[in-house]
Amino acid sequence: MSTVTFDKVTFGYDNKQIFSDFSFVFNLDCVNVVMGDSGVGKSTLLRLSMGLNKPSQGQIYCPECSVVFQESRLVEQLTVFDNIDIVLHRAYPDKKQRTKIIVNALQKADILQYAKRYPQQLSGGQRRRAALLRAFLYPSQVMLLDEPFRGLDNAIKQSLAKDFLMWYGDTPKTVIFVTHDVEVAMTVGDYIYKLQDNPANMRLLCDLSTVDKQNRDLYSPYFNKLRQQLNNVCEM
């Protein structure tokens, strides 16, 4: 099993109960989008999955995962190439093989020209693209994303969402993708959930698993109606 499972998990802090007897199984090899109000526990859900927080009760199963945060978290002293290389070092000990994987990926992502640049020489969108590619190249079974496009303009968000789908098509994983953005959710999601209430529970908002992610018309009547429904449910 290579999905993420919460089994009767209880967790809280500062006298606030975030989860109580919370059980949930994320869909295997799918993009599970999680939306919800600020402070409801979306980032805590990811931190528990990563093992950065420990539940007071219950069990969490999460295979080895790659993570994309709200910030790119690239090492400022390393080039784009070296930021990826340092993460892949253990998974691909052979330097020639590792270099070939990175160069091919940078070329496909159309950012090979930035391989020798440092993070401070990149735009915000370029930094996020490099961080996203780094996470996809790491051979994990699970990917966790905590609002990876936050703070970017809509055009860059949609460009990065298309890149995400391209890389996901090459290396499908079980993905938990936290976002506030309805457009991004409709673009990348197989299943869209809302984390709600206190203690929190998970509500399925939409099953898009049969709708081809590569060819979605977000301005079709179906998606226009879905957009309105999601905006009404997720007023954040």
What predicted TM-score, i.e. pTM, was given to this entire model?
Answer: 0.94
Task: Read off the pLDDT of residues 13-62 as tens digits, 9 standing for 90 and up.
Answer: 888 899 999 999 999 999 999 999 988 999 999 999 999 999 999 999 99
Q: By the 8 A CB rule, do 86 and 132 touch?
A: no
| Rounded CA separation 41/219 (Å) | 31
Task: Read off the pLDDT of residues 160-184 as tens digits, 9 standing for 90 and up.
Answer: 999 999 999 888 899 999 999 999 9
* pLDDT at residue number 2: 67
Please classify residue 144 by burial: count the beta carbons closer than 10 Å to its beta carbon, then call 0-12 exposed, 13-18 middle and 19+ buried.
Answer: buried
SS3 36: coil
Q: What element of type H or E holds 17?
A: strand 16-25
Phi-psi region of 133 (alpha: psi -120 to 50; beta: other; left: phi over 0): alpha
Task: Read off the pLDDT of residues 108-121 as tens digits, 9 standing for 90 and up.
Answer: 888 999 999 999 99
Structure tokens at 23: 């059980």
Q: Please name each of the domains of the chain with its CATH number.
A: 1-64+140-236 (3.40.50.300), 76-139 (no CATH)
Q: By the 8 A CB rule, do 91 and 139 touch?
A: yes
What amino acid is encoded at 230 in this protein?
Answer: L
